[in-house]
A and B are shown apart, each in its own frame.
Chain A
């Protein structure tokens, strides 16, 4: 009997989170992410977990941080305006090093925008939405199955690095229905909650970094009497008005992600072996870009595709390598032009970088990206 199921991207996200050990969800209804809250409300109690519908998006973010501190793997999900409202506490999670996953099923913005229409306009918000210097991990799936896989990855990374992770979905993948076969539980690797390595009597400090620069912070209720704050704090967890500590903590928060960059930056290449041109795309747009590239190949153009699964940290290495090799890069994204700036930064003039942008609430047609490829090959726009 086939284990294949017809499933929506948002549903697969729920399944992935549960498979990764998530046992708490706090949320607020918003299109196009609502199915995630609904799925969690239905499934969490079947595994002894809890779902709570909060009064607003800020409370939804606060409640999952509280649950995580008390030892449960926790997720929230939202879109556009809701993600904007969550920003302060996303920064809190970064500063206080609390594992949490925030799913953003992107829709058209700014403001209320086009609530039911797809967009990829939150690329830069995912990176810089909250105030101050902070690192960020953001992953973007292009299929229903990958919504499951990236949900597992997001939960694992949040635990491993004790940091907020954004699962940057889009309406295309969120509402897409595909036939999928989900992996067996035994085939899924789960990163467990980190544990204190010594007792209070032995001088335990909740924010002393381990060798990988990530602290082994205790959960509440385990007898460690830890203090957690959004103020800049030293290894004891208590605030301190010291330039030295402020510098060191800010640096460590970035470095704990930076030193693992190769391992967490996932990129897939298609038709790139002999490619003279490359299309860079991610999420739902990559599905269209794939077809456009395949069509262009039929016309004899040696073009390939580079698909970013990890959006942040940005795939500097992979893009730099491509830039050494190709005659030009086309960045296709469903916004006014956001990721293209990162590509230009990394390419640094080694080859032309063109933007194929769309921001009219509709998804790309393959022909639109094909036209972009044609222009790139012809030597750029007139």
Chain B
């Protein structure tokens, strides 16, 4: 069996700290398979993460890796990319990290169109702190801080990214591994801010509170409710029930990325690398 992706992992840092049945490992592997597929230079690729369960992935991956502060992965990644545009910068973040504490950085990263590939591991919950509601916990679902069900309305991070100016927006799930890998690879190809939402299961903190403690059942839920974009677009409104959601490439537009635009500033200012 081909296991060429192993070279992208720090074998001495494994096994990972995630719970049995967690979907984070699937998404992490999809990222390195996308990296392999795109043939990115391992020495010129930087993985940047925030704080939370998913953000621990950076430590397992054999690249230059940066585990930043909670919510701040995108500003750090922006600095890395602008300081050295030849680096491929991939951001790993979670639903709380990206859309709550890091929400402002997220929309402004999209707006600037910095050439980053941001993969949001959406497990609908704050896992590391034990299961509190995030801005992406679906309304009515339970969490330790929403014991009677969340009344907050949840973000659709893909629509948010598109509205804020991201030039590549896609969604997939931990069930659709090959599709997820393709979506991430497409994001790497896009020279601009690419956003990929990867829906993944947290049986321990989200599942147990919401009658889905079995990870296999959570993945079957993904299988049964994810609808490919082309089919979703044809789906009559009455079939778009609360559980159903579209996956696939939602948006891709070629726009000048920030570092390229800044090179023009340097030209106008008469500067060269000094």
Contacts and interface: CB of A to CB of B under 8 A. Distances in A.
Interface string A58-83: 11111111111111101000000000
Interface string B55-81: 000110011111111001011111111
Interface stretch (B82-90, B128-136, B177-185, B229-237): B82-90
Place the interface of chain A in its size category: 35 or more
B79 A62 contact: yes
Contacts of A70: 46, 79-81, 83-84, 87
A226 B64 contact: yes
Given A67-B80, A70-B80, A227-B65, A62 B86 contact: no
A181 to B, nearest CB: 22
B268 interface: yes
A330 to B, nearest CB: 42
A67 B269 contact: no
Contact of A47 (B77, B265, B274): B274
Given A48-B273, A49-B271, A66 B69 contact: no
Given A45-B271, A49-B271, A50-B262, A68 B62 contact: no
Most buried by A among B74, B75, B78, B274: B75
Chain B interface main SS type: helix
B63 to A, nearest CB: 6
B114 to A, nearest CB: 9
B13 interface: yes
B104 interface: yes
B270 interface: yes
Contacts of A224: 64
A14 to B, nearest CB: 14
B260 to A, nearest CB: 12
Interface string A220-257: 11111111111100000011000000000000000000
Contacts of B80: 66-67, 69-70, 220
Contacts of A64: 79
A48 B274 contact: yes
Contacts of A225: 42-43, 62-65
B124 to A, nearest CB: 25
A268 B58 CA distance: 48
B76 A24 contact: no
Given A89-B69, A225-B62, A54 B270 contact: no
A343 B256 CA distance: 56
A205 B76 CA distance: 22
A275 interface: no
Given A52-B78, A66-B78, A228-B65, A46 B270 contact: yes
26 contacts: A42-B269, A45-B266, A48-B273, A48-B274, A50-B82, A50-B262, A55-B104, A59-B74, A59-B75, A59-B104, A59-B105, A62-B79, A64-B79, A67-B83, A69-B66, A69-B79, A70-B87, A88-B69, A220-B80, A222-B43, A225-B63, A227-B65, A227-B66, A230-B67, A231-B67, A239-B59
Given A221-B43, A225-B63, 16 more contacts: A24-B83, A45-B269, A48-B271, A50-B82, A52-B258, A54-B75, A54-B78, A62-B69, A65-B68, A65-B79, A66-B66, A89-B69, A220-B80, A221-B84, A238-B13, A239-B59
Interface of A: 23-24, 26, 42, 44-50, 52, 54-56, 58-72, 74, 88-89, 92, 220-231, 238-239
Interface of B: 13, 42-44, 46, 48, 58-59, 62-69, 72, 74-84, 86-87, 104-105, 107-108, 258, 262, 265-266, 268-274
